[in-house]
């Protein structure tokens, strides 16, 4: 029972981490290697607002932090990526360099040790089928599901959301219909970074804000995306359940150290068997040489 | 107002030096041979010149290791089209292998470095094999993950000395062997690679980047070509790692550090991608800079990243291409 409950929680956590990355990749076709950095940045901004300004309301701090991260994401596209668009090598190097600069800059700026924590929204825990689960984790599951629903509604019943999907499916056809490709890419980066920040706010109360978490988040996000098929949203959620349960199982029967190894093996097996991922049908021909 | 435009014309000496008659005049011969000779002689004399500043002598070795890594990154990125975000993985594999050979199996230095280089190149190629049949970002993703994972695995399983690393490697016989082993290897690899990319095999490898369908249509396996190229790049990286572990007489987790991934990348972009020589010039600029900035700790990485992004966005041709243009051509304003 414990495995099932924590497996579900872990899967939702993973899919929250990966959602922003997959959104950016599916729309702007940019692998956003700065994802983990943006995740940590949000946590750090919230921490600063809460601890340096006394009496700052928690919800407001969260809102400001997420907005700032979204703006950073949009600025990265507007001023840097837009100039190297289409040059794959430069795109990868640029996002990776930005991500590293943010993470190592934060490390240099004093983000070390276990002193940085965010308070949970609601403390305490509850017995669920004989397993004690704290409220924060339950809240993550709830909010996670609501987020998926909102994203689905946004991309299916909203002009901007539909434009994003249009660009993701066929950029040229979408441009012929008057959708601005660069504008949608900026929006997608903003939303993707915002989602990374949102995930950070939800997940960081479970642990410390440290730089290594940024790298871990990036790796998990990438693992989930590759396994689900880069740019496929259904695949992302399914893949996060696969990795989530695999991790919990290895944790139960082996040791926690193997979590990362599980992610890597999952990626390699996927690349060997079905490189386009579980749901990545449309790109299958393009990716195999 | 009359409009002006910039005109670029080849220098007279360049035109004169392009044919066989170049050998009839010292000036033309100097024009052709000067820069490469200056580089080679300068690099070879570096340890002797730096007798004056002993602290900087150590930096030469590190500089050359980074130059090798930059060369391997440049080759992979600009000739094969694979972006390797984890040069540190090559270094780590080479370093640990030569430590294993030297400390656990008691091989002498002159055996452990070459063995570690060759075995390391094959191991790296084998581990990267799954992502080679694919296009796109997969290679970048997998190479990004390997060094991070290698540290975690070594830490978690407490193998290969765990967090302390493997100590007690033999050092190289003396200081001058130490300097010249790496300097000569760097020069050798530089000119070998420049020659290699213009051979038939090199042309096929460049074809993999530009038009893999054409390569496939010619009956050549793209995956095999890519594996071959990765093997060569890993060879250079592993040599750097193996050499470095003997230089420090220690091989540890910092062999997988981010520096080995980001500095080569930055030096290639700054030096000029696709020129091979640019990669070396870039690392000869960046590594001393990093030595000067030693007190800043991880802030150095921020500086490299800023330089890197700046060069990619504003000056993507890099120093080398710029310098070549200035050397071969002059510019003037003319009326339209």
Helix (H) or strand (E) holding B42: helix B26-49
Exposed / middle / buried, residue A215 (Cβ in 10 Å: 0-12, 13-18, 19+)? buried
Using the Cβ of A221 and the Cβ atoms of chain B, whether some distance falls under 8 Å is answered with: no
* Distance in angstroms (rounded) separating the CA atoms of residues B142 and A268: 8
pLDDT tens digits for range A18-39: 888 888 888 877 888 888 888 8
Q: Cβ–Cβ of B83/A92 closer than 8 Å?
A: yes
ipTM, two decimals: 0.82
Higher local confidence (pLDDT), B58 or B229: B229
Q: Which domains does chain B have, with CATH numbers?
A: 4-17+24-335 (1.10.3470)
Contacts of A268-272 with CB under 8 Å at 24 or more apart are A268/B130, A268/B142, A270/A226, A270/A227, A271/A226, A271/B130, A271/B131, A271/B134, A271/B138, A271/B142, A272/B130
Does any CB of chain A come closer than 8 Å to the CB of residue B81? yes
Start-to-end C-alpha separation, chain B: 11
Nearest CB among B140, B142, B306 relative to A101 is that of: B306
Res. B160 pLDDT band, cuts 50 70 90: confident
Q: Does B302 touch chain A (CB under 8 A)?
A: yes
**Res. A281 pLDDT band, cuts 50 70 90:** low
Nearest-by-Cβ selection for A107 from B145, B155, B298: B298
Q: What's the whole-number average pLDDT of chain A? A: 81
Residue A112: what pLDDT?
A: 67
pLDDT digits (tens, 9 = 90+) for B175-211: 788 888 889 999 999 999 999 988 889 889 888 888 8
Instruction: Using the structure block, give the residue that is written with the tokens 């602290």.
Output: B55
A264/A266 Cα distance (integer angstroms) = 5
User: pLDDT digit string (tens) for A81-93?
Assistant: 888 887 878 888 8
* A269 to chain B: closest CA residue: B130
Residue A173 gets the label, from left (phi > 0), alpha (psi -120 to 50) or beta, of alpha
Q: In this complex, do B149 and A264 lie within 8 Å of one another by their Cβ atoms? A: yes
For position A113, what pLDDT does the model report? 62
Number of H helices, E strands in chain B: 14, 4
- pLDDT single digits (tens) B101-155: 888 888 888 888 899 999 999 999 998 888 888 777 788 888 888 888 888 888 8
- Give buried/exposed letters for B71-102 (b at 16+ CB in 10 A, else e): bbbbbbbbbbbbbbbbbbbbbbbbbbbbbbbb
pLDDT (mean) for B222-228: 90
* Average pLDDT of the residues in A47-56: 79
- Asked if residue B313 lies in contact with residue B264, where contact means CB atoms within 8 angstroms, the answer is no
Q: Which residue in B141, B152, B299 is closest to A226 by CB distance?
A: B141
Q: How far apart are CA A242 and CA A256, in angstroms?
A: 17
Inter-chain CB proximity B297 and A108 less than 8 Å: yes
Q: Which two tokens stand for residue B325?
A: 């243009």
- Residue B304, pLDDT > 70, answer yes
Interface residue B159 vs chain A (CB under 8 A): no
Q: Measured between beta carbons, which residues in chain B are less than 8 angstroms from residue A287?
A: 134-136, 138
Nearest to B206 by CA among B226, B233, B176: B226
| Contact call for residues B186 and B64 (beta carbons, < 8 A) | yes
Kindly list the domain boundaries of chain A, sorted by start residue. 2-210
Please give the angle made by the CA atoms of B76, B78 and B83, to the nearest 5 degrees: 50
- Give the pLDDT score at B118: 92
3-state class (DSSP) for residue A210: coil
Compute the average pLDDT of residues A267-279. 76
CA dihedral B311→B314→B318→B321, nearest 10 degrees, is 180
Partner-chain residue, chosen from A33, A215, A287, that has the shortest CB–CB distance to B136: A287
Residue B232: which pLDDT band, with cuts at 50, 70 and 90? very high
Q: What is the pLDDT of residue B233?
A: 92
Residue with the bigger pLDDT between A248 and B123: it is B123
Please give the pLDDT value at position B72: 92
Say what the pLDDT of residue B231 is. 93
Encode pLDDT of B29-74 as tens digits. Answer: 888 888 888 988 988 888 888 888 777 888 888 889 999 999 999 9
């Amino acid at each position: 029972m414990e495995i099932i409950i924590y497996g579900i929680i872990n899967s939702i956590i993973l899919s929250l981490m990966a959602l922003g990355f997959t959104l950016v990749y599916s729309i702007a076709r940019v692998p956003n290697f700065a994802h983990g950095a943006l995740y940590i940045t949000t946590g750090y901004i919230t921490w600063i607002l809460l601890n340096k300004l006394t009496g700052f309301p928690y919800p407001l701090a969260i809102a400001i932090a997420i907005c700032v991260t979204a703006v950073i994401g949009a600025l990265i596209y507007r001023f840097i990526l837009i100039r190297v668009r289409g040059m794959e090598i430069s795109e990868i190097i640029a996002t990776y360099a930005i991500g590293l600069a943010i993470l190592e800059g934060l490390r240099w700026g004093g983000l070390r040790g276990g002193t940085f924590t965010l308070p949970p929204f609601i403390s305490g825990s509850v017995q669920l089928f004989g397993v004690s689960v704290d409220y924060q984790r339950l809240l993550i599951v709830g909010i996670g599901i609501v987020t998926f629903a909102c994203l689905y509604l946004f991309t299916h019943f909203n002009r901007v959301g539909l434009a994003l999907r249009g660009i993701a499916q066929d950029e040229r056809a979408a441009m012929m219909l008057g959708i601005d490709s660069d504008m949608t890419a900026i929006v997608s980066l903003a939303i993707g970074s915002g989602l990374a920040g949102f995930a950070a706010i939800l997940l960081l109360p479970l642990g410390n804000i440290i730089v290594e978490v940024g790298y871990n988040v990036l790796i998990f996000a990438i693992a989930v995306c590759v396994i689900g098929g880069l740019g496929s949203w259904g695949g992302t959620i399914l893949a996060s359940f696969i990795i989530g349960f695999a991790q919990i199982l290895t944790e139960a029967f082996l040791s926690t150290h193997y979590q990362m190894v599980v992610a890597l093996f999952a990626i390699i097996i996927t690349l060997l068997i079905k490189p386009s991922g579980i749901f990545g049908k449309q790109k299958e021909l393009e990716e195999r040489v | 107002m009359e409009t002006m435009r910039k005109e670029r014309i080849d220098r007279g000496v360049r035109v004169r030096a392009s044919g066989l008659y170049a050998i009839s005049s010292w000036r033309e011969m100097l024009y052709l041979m000067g820069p490469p000779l200056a580089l080679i002689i300068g690099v070879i004399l570096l340890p002797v010149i730096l007798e004056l500043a002993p602290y900087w002598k150590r930096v030469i070795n590190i500089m050359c290791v980074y130059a090798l890594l930059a060369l391997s990154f440049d080759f992979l990125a600009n000739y094969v089209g694979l972006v390797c975000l984890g040069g540190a993985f090559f270094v780590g594999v080479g370093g640990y292998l030569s430590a294993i050979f030297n400390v656990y199996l008691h091989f002498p230095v002159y055996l452990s470095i070459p063995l570690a280089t060759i075995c390391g190149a094959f191991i790296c190629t084998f581990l990267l094999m799954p992502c080679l049949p694919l296009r796109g970002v997969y290679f970048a993703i997998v190479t990004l993950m390997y060094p991070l994972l290698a540290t975690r695995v070594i830490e978690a399983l407490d193998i290969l000395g765990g967090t302390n690393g493997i100590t007690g490697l033999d050092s190289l016989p003396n200081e001058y062997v130490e300097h010249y082993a790496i300097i000569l290897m760097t020069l050798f690899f530089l000119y070998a690679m420049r020659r290699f990319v213009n051979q038939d095999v090199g042309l096929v490898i460049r074809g993999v980047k530009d038009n893999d369908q054409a390569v496939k249509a010619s009956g050549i396996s793209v995956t095999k070509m890519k594996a071959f190229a990765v093997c060569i790049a890993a060879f250079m990286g592993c040599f750097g790692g193996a050499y470095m572990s003997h230089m420090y007489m220690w091989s540890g987790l910092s062999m997988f550090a981010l520096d080995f991934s980001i500095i080569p990348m930055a030096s290639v972009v700054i030096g000029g991608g696709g020129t091979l020589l640019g990669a070396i010039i870039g690392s000869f600029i960046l590594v001393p800079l990093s030595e000067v900035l030693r007190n800043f700790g991880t802030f150095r990485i921020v500086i490299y990243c800023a330089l890197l992004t700046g060069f990619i966005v504003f000056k993507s041709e890099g120093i080398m291409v710029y310098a070549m243009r200035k050397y071969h051509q002059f510019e003037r304003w003319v009326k339209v």
